[in-house]
Each structure stands twice: as C-alpha cells, then as structure tokens.
Structure 1
Amino acid sequence: RRRLGLSFLQLLTLKSQLLRFHRICTQQSDFQEAKKILFSTLSTRGYCRTFLRKVNRTFLEDKPIKVTSQLPLVMLYSPHMLGYIRGVKENFQTLVQTTKILTDHEVLAAYRRNKNLKDYLVKAKLRPTIRTKSKDLGQFFKHKRWIYNVFSDTVYLTRTKGTARTSNCVYLITCKTCQKMYVGETKNTLLVRFTQHRYNILRRKGTNTHLVQHFLIHGWQSVTATVLESNSDWTAQQRKWAERLWIMRLDTAHPGGLNEAKPRAVSSS
C-alpha cells in the first residue's frame, strides 16, 4: 500500500514536470531533448521504463470531470479507520444497487487533522483585556498638581502624577458640590478602592462614617479624586503614617473635612 502511494506521488510529480517542460519549450525539439535528459536521469535512479512510457503517453490527457455528488465522511485520520471506510463504501454501493436511489452520489473520506498541543495552547485571538469603561474613570479621577482647601485656606503640591491605576498610595476625595475633602490610603489601585467607596455609598453601607453620610446627600456624581502621594515600597504602617500627615496638612478632619476627628487605623485595602 505504501509502495502504491509512492508510485502515485511519483506519477503526479513527473507529470507536473513534463507539463512544465511542455509550456516553457517553444520548439518541439527542445521539449524532446529536455524529456530525454529527464527520463535518462530517472532510469539510472531505478524508475521503470514501463512507468516512464505510461507517463509520457498520458501527461497531456485531461482528467475526466466527475459529475457525481460526493457525500463526505468526515473523521480523524487513523490507519485503523481504513477498513471502516472501505466497509461504508461497499455498503453504500450495495444500497444504491438494490434501491436505485442516490445513484449519482459517492462516499468520500474527508480526514481532518488531530489536535496537537499547539492547537490547545495557541489561540488565534487574544483574550480581551479587562478594561474599565472610560466613563467610570472620568467620573471620579482628575489629576491635580496643586491642592487648595477653601476651608483652611491651605495649598499643597502633590508629590506624584498618579492615575486611577496607581497603587500603594494616599489619595484625596473632593466633593464637587461643596469642596469638602477626605484623605484616604490604599494598597490596591485607586480604581479598586473607589469601587468599594461607590458600593458603600450606593448601597448605604458604613453610614456611620462622615464620608458615606456626606455623599448620600450630595450623590456619587459629586465625587472627584486625585493621588497625593505614592510609593511602591511603602509598608502598611508607612502608608497610614503618610495618610495622617496629609490629613493634618490639608486639615480634612471633621467638621472642616470628611475624615474622622481622630484618624483611626484604617484597614489596608
């Protein structure tokens, strides 16, 4: 069977080479000379003369066009399936002969490749990165270089140019309605922390704090925030200490601000 497959491949290769010679040679004598050299070389390599004569006789013949409709039998390739396919074709021919239906059809084995490790690991499409909608970012974050507290008449320069994705930082919340301020700290990104703040305000959680009480009245749409300071090497204790310093600088303790009168330990969120 392997030998027959090889002969068929040799037949196709040799026919394609002869057709190429036939197209590019403008003179018949040139074609005959090229064919003679090719056949002579192949003869020394073990090609049978009968085989070469058959190719020479049939390479210009048009392959008859099949008018039968094909019924594909799709399956994964396996040498053990060859007997199964042969049995299906024989049974189909028997059915056609006895019932006289589907006489213009034939069964065609259509193999599909088995999946390999590459198919399981490599995807044509990249997974979409999880991005927060731009409107969610724009609702609360705005970088400010200078911070001015209208109640204490104090001005301070922020110590970093943060974004909504800055982590391990001290941040400032300002009410756009009344300009009251709140200083907080977080180990996570500002976006994650504000998701928690928004949940508390919209779901009325933690209503014992001045921050939640205030924005229950003025609404989440009044929230705006900026990063005051960040340091990727901060420990939780250092971050809380920086938070207390900013509370004192901006004087955001209640009633002038929204922080508790005596800053208490805040969980590192």
Structure 2
Amino acid sequence: MESKNRDNIYAKWTLILGIILTLILPFSIHLFNLEQLGKYGTVGDTIGGITSPVSQLLGSILIYLALKAQLDANKIIQNQVNEDNKQSLIRHDLEQIHELYSFFQNNIKSFGYEKETKGKREVVFGKRAIKSFFQDIEEMNINIHSDEDILKIDGVREILSIINSAKLILQKNKNSKLENEDKEFYNTLIHHELVFSIFPAREIENEDPLSLKKCTMCEIYHGNFPPLIFHRIQELKNEL
C-alpha cells in the first residue's frame, strides 16, 4: 500500500513538472538568439523541437508508472486468488474430516454384539458392545494366527472397519491444509474415542498399552489377541 501511494506521488509531481516545463519553455524562447535559431527553421519548429523531447520523456515516465501500478494491482489480485483457493481447500478438507469423523462415530454406535450375562444372551451396542467383544475374544479357544478363522468370528470385520476408518481420519488430518490447532483438535477427539471405545481396557491402565505376554509361536507380544486385530491397533497407534 505504501509503495502504491509513493508511485502516485511520483506520477503527480512528474506530471506537474512536465506541464510547467511545457508552458515555460515556449515563452523562454526570447532568451535565445532568434537570429541563430532562424537559421535552423521557423520559430514554431524550434519550440516544437525543444518541447517534444520533454513531452516524450514525460510520456515514457507516465507509461512506466502506469504499467508498474497495473503489475502491482495484478499481483495483489493474484495473491487474493491464491488465498481464496487455499481457504477453499481448507474448507474442503474440514468437511471431509468432519464427515469421516461422523461416519466413525456412527460405526461405533451401531456396532452390535451378542453377550452372555448371567446365563442370558443379550445384544448390546456401542462402546459396551466393543468392550464385550475384546473381553470375549481373548478368552476364545481358537487358532488366533489363522486370519481366515478370525474373520469368521462375529464382529471382527466390523471392528476392523472401525479401526480402518479411524486410521483414515488420522491420515487425512495429517495431510490436510488445516491449521495445526485444528489438526490437534481432531487428533484429540480421535484419541479420546479410541481409548474409551476401541482399545481394550488395559489401554487405560498401562503406561505401555497392550504390553502383553510374548507369543511362543510368532514371538510377538500380543498375548491372546489375534495378530490380525493386534497389528491393526498398533498401526493405528503409530498414526497417533
């Protein structure tokens, strides 16, 4: 803005000086030897010859200032366009992350699991269903290293879908154009949901989450958790 005002002042004073010189020089012709000037043409030609270079110089200066002002204006407009595009991308990322988070929450709320309580079977939903699922899966007498057998268990595919959706949100949030404060906000929301909804109860109790006993078959500390689920949870933690 200061540069633009400075150019306007230069243009104004250049124009004023040019007008003054154009008006003064013709009337100053009497100061010269007219007899000598007459050898080179009429008085009108002499006046035109004197004022023409000055007028051309003034015109060149004014054209330069006008072009410079136009370039500055174009630069301001381009910066505004770039800023608008940036804000548009931010709004787009924000809408996508919000939709993904809503989808993630709905998946948690709609997750159903049949649980046995005091000899009776009942279907529970949401966080309670997920907690029951993790409690039961640790106690199941199955080959936990067989992904094919694990996927046949009721609720496994839904749990993996929830974990994958949480991972997708974290990745989208990380690569988005959002400000760091907004990214941290969504990371905090996802972390809260994971700790109190997805991760097993020991996640809250232990400083080293899922610090389970070492498996004698694969020598990985996943306890009686199926590696298919255990590794997905660990991948999700890495995203956090």
TM-score (norm 2): 0.25
**More helix as a share of residues:** 2
**More strand as a share of residues:** 1
TM-score (norm 1): 0.24
